[in-house]
Amino acid sequence: MEKVKVIQERLKTTQCGQKSYAEVRRRPLDFEVDDWVYLKVSPMKGVMRISTRVGNVAYELELSQELAEVHSVFQISMLKKCLDDPSLIVPTENVGIKDNLSNEEVPIDILDH
């Protein structure tokens, strides 16, 4: 029983350390309807607008017609608040999505060297 108590104390100490580390790094995310957000999915780069909130950690986005086949509800960890001008939307019509849902990114311009 003594070894079990020692193990429990060490687990508790480790959990407290992990909790404090996680709380320092965690950012509170909260969005409102009509907020502009970035969606962190590689083939779907661009800015989308939140149409409704679904639960505490999920939001439904207004997706473009090119993305009509994609499910429109995303978990909050997939979103990032858009602080720039939402008119700078990356066009999705030139994104060549292959059958295995991958794409090849090709640079358009070299801006500096």
DSSP labels, the chain = -HHHHHHHHHHHHHHHHHHHHHHHH-------TT-EEEE--GGG-SEEEEEEEETTTEEEEE--GGGTTS--EEEGGGEEE--S-TT-PPPSTT----TTS------------
Confidence of residue 5 (pLDDT cuts 50, 70, 90): very high
Domain boundaries, the chain: 28-84
Q: Are 75 and 21 in contact (CB under 8 A)?
A: no
Bigger pLDDT: 90 vs 51:
51
What average pLDDT does this structure show over 67-75? 79
Q: The domain 28-84 is classified under which CATH number: 1.10.10.60, 1.10.645.10, 2.30.30.140, 1.10.275.10? A: 2.30.30.140
Bigger pLDDT: 45 vs 1:
1
Q: Flag whether pLDDT at 6 surpasses 90.
A: yes
